[in-house]
């Protein structure tokens, strides 16, 4: 008995392990139900969320998260919500969009990462296109029909790629905003246009229809 007590008293607990357990920290963007790490791009037309990503992830709930813009603390927590209004101007972007994430564990070990969020203005298609919806066009299967549309993007440096879908068949027409196509039988036909910028943000117009009438016939 006395021996057991003596040995219990002799057991000295080891020093608590206060070395950092998290090896790295990163940031992901969640928008349109899609989460991605690269590029850190947000479509300015929709709300988005920044999510901290620590490795190993099992320690995710053991640390505190601080979102900064420069030295200004913007928020705390595993996620950081971004509203469309936060991206309405460059002034608001500087005020509301973080560029640094700091994490801190119970032992006050800190780890930080800096990042840059790309606020991408999505392309826009004008609803004014040719043929106009419901337009009646005259010709035979060899007659070229003009398809034209206009797209724009406030991020001017970006290339816009278009898909012209005629009767359900998609043509990759690249940067073209006007083409002539033939091969239309008499009757109803449909088309629609989709535009995508280099960062993958898209716009489209609803399907339009036009009618081909072969009145040329034999003179």
The binder of other proteins chosen from 20, 56, 134, 174 (CB under 8 A): 174
Phi then psi dihedrals of residue 210, to 5 deg:
-145, 165
Closest by alpha carbon to 19, among 101, 103, 105? 105
The binder of other proteins chosen from 24, 114, 182, 190 (CB under 8 A): 182
Give the range of 20-28, 46-54, 69-77, 177-185 binding other proteins by CB under 8 A: 177-185
Give the range of 34-42, 48-56, 166-174, 191-199 binding other proteins by CB under 8 A: 166-174
Comparing CB distances to other proteins, the nearer of 84 and 180 is 180
Per-residue mark of binding to other proteins, 140-159 (x: CB under 8 A): x-xxx---------------
172 contributes a contact to other proteins by CB under 8 A: yes
Q: How many residues of this chain bind other proteins (CB under 8 A)?
A: 22
170 contributes a contact to other proteins by CB under 8 A: yes
Comparing CB distances to other proteins, the nearer of 97 and 212 is 212
The binder of other proteins chosen from 39, 77, 134, 183 (CB under 8 A): 183
Contacts of 11 (CB under 8 A, 6+ apart): none
165 contributes a contact to other proteins by CB under 8 A: no
| Strand ranges for the chain from DSSP E | 24-31, 34-36, 41-43, 48-55, 64-69, 72-76, 79-82, 100-104, 110-114, 118-120, 124-125, 135-138, 145-148, 151-152, 160-166, 169-174, 178-181, 187-197, 202-204, 208-213
The binder of other proteins chosen from 1, 106, 169, 206 (CB under 8 A): 169
Beta partners for 167? none
176 contributes a contact to other proteins by CB under 8 A: yes
Sequence-distant contacts of 60-65: CB under 8 A, at least 24 apart:
62/21, 62/105, 62/106, 63/22, 63/103, 63/104, 63/105, 64/103, 64/104, 64/105, 65/101, 65/102, 65/103
Give the range of 31-39, 55-63, 67-75, 169-177 binding other proteins by CB under 8 A: 169-177
Q: Please report how close the Cβ of residue 180 comes to other proteins at its closest, in angstroms.
A: 6
Please give the Cα distance from 86 to 136 (Å, whole number): 46
CB 99 within 8 A of CB 116: yes
187 contributes a contact to other proteins by CB under 8 A: no
Q: List residues near other proteins by CB under 8 A.
A: 140, 142-144, 164, 169-176, 178-183, 216, 218-219
């Amino acid at each position: 008995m006395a021996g057991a007590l003596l040995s219990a008293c002799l057991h000295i607990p080891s020093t608590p392990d206060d070395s950092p357990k998290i090896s790295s920290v990163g940031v992901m963007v969640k928008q349109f139900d899609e989460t991605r790490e690269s590029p850190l791009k947000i479509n300015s037309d929709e709300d988005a969320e920044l999510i901290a990503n620590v490795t190993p992830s099992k320690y995710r709930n053991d640390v505190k998260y601080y979102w900064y813009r420069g030295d200004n603390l913007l928020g705390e927590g595993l996620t950081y919500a971004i509203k469309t209004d936060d991206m309405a101007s460059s002034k608001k972007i500087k005020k509301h969009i973080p560029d640094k994430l700091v994490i801190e564990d119970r032992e006050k070990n800190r780890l930080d990462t800096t990042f840059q969020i790309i606020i991408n203005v999505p392309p826009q298609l004008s609803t004014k296109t040719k043929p106009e919806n419901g337009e009646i066009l005259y010709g035979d299967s060899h007659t070229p029909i003009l398809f034209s549309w206009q797209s724009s993007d406030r991020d001017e440096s970006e290339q816009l790629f278009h898909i012209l879908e005629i009767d359900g068949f998609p043509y990759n027409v690249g940067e073209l905003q006007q083409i002539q196509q033939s091969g239309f039988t008499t009757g109803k036909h449909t088309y629609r246009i989709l535009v995508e910028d280099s960062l993958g943000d898209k716009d489209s117009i609803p399907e339009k229809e036009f009618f081909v009438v072969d009145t040329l016939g034999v003179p």
